Amino acid sequence: MSDVDFRSPVTALYPRRDGAERPLKGLYLETDLPDRGRAGPWIYANFVATLDGRIALLNEDSGEQGVPGSIADPRDWRLFQELASRADLLLTSGRYLRDLHAGKAQDILPVSPEPGFQDLHDWRRRQGLAPQPDVAVLSASLDFALPPLLFEQGRRVYVLTTRRAPETAVRRLEADGARLFRLDDGEQVSGRAAVRCLDDLGYRRVYSVTGPYVFHTLLRDNAVDTLFLTWRHRLVGGTGVSIVEGPAFTVPVDLHLRSLYRDTATMSAGQLYARFELGNG
């Protein structure tokens, strides 16, 4: 990925309409991200989707979902990393860690150690941030393993679960070094309880790197402040999932466009980078 030209510009479409260009590198590193949201910490998420709404496709042979190369893009991945570098905590899921263990995830919870991302580590150091964001895992089943590297990097690791969580799994994860919080009596952890817990722990800027089901949980509980969405100008067909999966919301979630950039510097299909604010905008 080091040979990708991250300096090639993107074109501003909104709110500016003058076709102004700016480098891709630094686009999200410099964007305004508050450190306080509606529910406590500022919660922001990011997805890349095709024009037919896919963020992952079903593998007909294995029956599992995955992000194929037809959806992924190195320039979008640069922006994903920039958003990770802004966080003091990454919110993930047991599903992601299971995918990571199976070799199906892109990264062991960035910021990436690859040479092309050294500037992000330098930026965090100048801001007085830890070398890597801390990690919180949202899971009811606790059916996952924690990568030892997380602890070797000096990161605090929390597991947010329910009071029904299997006791043997609780003890195993605590023995690995995680701090467990049992937040709900139901079958799932609510987004509201998770965000309240992170607020009590003192976190102010949380990057949700979960999938569409946990994103649904956060949206349902009005716990998301910002959505960054990359639209890849490509149709892939097949069977897959969208950015949010779950029962229909009783009240639809309205989003307010804050910025929009066009990127034509990719190998083939172009893409749009949009930022939406949720709630009152």
Give the pLDDT band (50/70/90) at residue 240: confident
Tokens of 213: 């089901």
Q: Is 185 a member of any domain?
A: yes
Q: Is residue 132 in a domain?
A: yes
CB proximity list for 119: less than 8 A, separation 6 or greater: 25
Strands 157-162 and 89-93: unpaired
| Mean pLDDT on 235-261 | 93
Residue 165's domain comprises 9-278
Give me the pLDDT at residue 16, please: 78
Phi, psi of 89 (to 5 degrees): -155, 140
Where residue 193 sits, what CATH number does that domain have?
3.40.430.10
Asked whether residue 2 is domain-assigned, the answer is no
Q: Is residue 108 part of a domain?
A: yes
Could you tell me which residue, 198 or 67, shows the higher pLDDT?
Answer: 198
Task: Establish if 4 belongs to a structural domain.
Answer: no
Mean pLDDT, the chain, whole residue set: 90
Mean pLDDT of 181-193: 90
Residue 95 banded pLDDT, cuts 50, 70, 90: confident
List, as one string, the DSSP characters of 118-134: HHHHHHHHHTT--SS-E
Residue 15 has pLDDT above 50, yes or no: yes
- Summarize pLDDT for 104-152 with one digit per residue, the tens: 666 778 899 888 899 999 999 999 999 999 999 999 999 999 999 999 9
Mean pLDDT on 200-221: 95
Q: Is the pLDDT of residue 1 over 60?
A: no
Tell me if 86 is assigned to some domain.
Answer: yes
What is the DSSP secondary-structure string of 97-122?
A: HHHHHTT-SS-SSSSP-SGGGHHHHH
Q: Indicate the number of domains in the chain.
A: 1
- State the Cα–Cα distance between residues 111 and 108, nearest whole angstrom: 9
Q: What percent of the chain has pLDDT over 90?
A: 72
Question: What does the pLDDT read at residue 281?
Answer: 43
Measure the CA–CA gap between 118 and 228, rounded to whole angstroms. Answer: 23
With cut-offs at 50, 70 and 90, classify the pLDDT of residue 98. confident
Q: What does the block give as tokens for 166?
A: 């299997």
Residue 1 lies in a domain: no
In a 13 Å sphere around the CA of 91, the CA atoms on its Cβ side amount to: 31
The predicted model scores a pTM of 0.92
Question: Is the separation of the CB atoms in 209 and 84 below 8 Å?
Answer: yes
Instruction: Please give the pLDDT value at position 80.
Output: 95
> What proportion of the chain, given as a percentage, has pLDDT over 70?
95
> Considering only 13-17, 80-84, 213-217, 229-233, which range has the smallest mean pLDDT?
13-17
- First vs last C-alpha separation in the chain: 35
Tell me if 135 is assigned to some domain: yes
